[in-house]
């Protein structure tokens, strides 16, 4: 999980050039959500730390990649300042999840402040979209029993990830793609909003999944624990869109 969060908030340079230069592979990615092409199962594409000035470009890249759909974990402060972005995410059929209000390490906060981080973001999302989020991702993947209870109290399932692209670290697009494609069916890929390298990776990831018969899916509750890394499990997985 990126600790360069604040540095990415202002990212806007080169977005237009990147949008023009995105090369969409022409194979089965065009029907990324077609049941006949999803024999290999589903994985979830997730983007943290938005919405940003680049969210519209991400949405276009997903549309162009066979109308692939994803889950955007938004922070309350950014969602409040980018209201059109949050509404557009939902309008285009994607999921919106809660990623706290100001992106702190929730485990390090006192109980009241930590709960307010989740509550306030859920209120922002509900106000903007008409629906409170049902998914929650803790910043940095830092969680504990209290954090999970807070999420459940607000009607949310905690979502970690099973494939970390490490896109925030400055690695090239090709490495982001390779990291994403380590995901297994049912898994969840971690990426971030506001990064030109990740934007360029979207069509390549969708194409790479399509070549395996795997489609981008939505996130649902999993009764079976899923391992994020040794010592941490969560209860979420990818499933077909309804």
The span from the CA of 210 to the CA of 217, in Å, is 12
Q: What is the pLDDT of residues 173-228, one digit of tens each?
A: 999 999 999 999 999 999 999 999 999 999 999 999 999 999 999 999 999 999 99
Burial of 230 (0-12, 13-18, 19+ CB in 10 A): exposed
Q: Is position 48 annotated as part of the catalytic site? A: yes
Q: Is residue 15 part of a domain?
A: no
Q: Is residue 223 part of a domain?
A: yes
Cα–Cα distances in angstroms (integers) from residue 205 to residues 30, 112, 149, 176, in the given order: 13, 40, 34, 9
The CATH number of residue 57's host domain is 3.20.20.370
3-state secondary structure 134-196: CEECCHHHCCCHHHHHHHHHCCCEECCCCEECCHHHCCCHHHHHHHHCCCCCCCEEEEECCCH
Give the range of the structural domain holding residue 211, as residue numbers without chain letter. 27-239
Catalytic residue among 48, 64, 80, 193: 48
Q: Is residue 16 part of a domain?
A: no
Q: Is residue 209 part of a domain?
A: yes
Q: What is the pLDDT of residues 133-175, one digit of tens each?
A: 999 999 999 999 999 999 999 999 999 999 999 999 999 999 9
pTM of the model: 0.88
Using alpha carbons only, give the angle 160, 151, 195 rounded to the nearest 5 degrees: 40
Catalytic residue among 49, 150, 192, 193: 192
Q: What is the pLDDT of residues 33-78, one digit of tens each?
A: 555 789 999 999 999 999 999 999 999 999 999 999 999 999 999 9
Closest CA to 73 of 151, 170, 7: 151
The span from the CA of 223 to the CA of 11, in Å, is 38
Cα–Cα distances in angstroms (integers) from residue 59 to residues 30, 55, 66, 72, 140, in the given order: 15, 6, 12, 10, 24
Q: Which residue has the tokens 């300042």?
A: 81
Q: Which residues contact 170 (CB under 8 A, 6 or more apart)?
A: none
Cis ω for the linkage preceding 51 (within 30 of 0): yes
The span from the CA of 217 to the CA of 241, in Å, is 6
Q: Is residue 205 part of a domain?
A: yes
Q: Is residue 43 part of a domain?
A: yes
Q: Is residue 11 part of a domain?
A: no
Q: Is residue 91 part of a domain?
A: yes
**Three-state DSSP class for residue 6:** helix
Give the strand pairing for 214-216 and 41-50.
parallel
Query: Cβ distance 188 to 45 under 8 Å?
Result: no
Q: Is 145 left (phi over 0), alpha (psi -120 to 50) or beta?
A: alpha
Number of domains, the chain: 1
Does 20 have pLDDT greater than 70? no
Q: Is position 192 annotated as part of the catalytic site? A: yes
């Amino acid at each position: 999980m990126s600790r360069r969060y604040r540095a990415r908030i202002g990212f806007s340079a080169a977005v237009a050039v990147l949008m023009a230069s995105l090369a969409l592979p022409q194979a089965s990615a065009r029907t990324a959500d077609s049941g006949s092409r999803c024999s290999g199962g589903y994985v979830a594409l997730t983007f943290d730390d938005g919405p940003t000035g680049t969210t519209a470009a991400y949405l276009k890249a997903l549309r162009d990649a066979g109308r692939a759909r994803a889950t955007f974990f938004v922070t309350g402060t950014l969602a409040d300042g980018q209201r059109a972005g949050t509404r557009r995410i939902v309008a285009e059929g994607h999921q919106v999840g809660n990623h706290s209000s100001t992106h702190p390490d929730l485990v390090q906060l006192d109980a009241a402040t930590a709960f307010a981080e989740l509550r306030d973001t859920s209120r922002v999302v509900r106000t903007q979209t008409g629906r409170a989020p049902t998914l929650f991702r803790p910043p940095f993947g830092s969680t504990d029993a209290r954090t999970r209870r807070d999420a459940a109290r607000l009607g949310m399932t905690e979502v970690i990830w099973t494939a970390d692209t490490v896109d925030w670290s400055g690695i090239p697009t090709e490495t982001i793609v390779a990291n994403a494609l380590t995901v297994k069916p049912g898994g969840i890929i971690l990426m971030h909003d506001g990064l030109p390298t990740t934007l360029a990776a979207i069509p390549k990831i969708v194409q790479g999944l399509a070549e395996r018969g795997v489609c981008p899916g939505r996130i649902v509750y999993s009764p079976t624990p899923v391992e994020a890394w040794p010592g941490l499990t969560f209860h979420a997985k990818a499933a077909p869109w309804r």
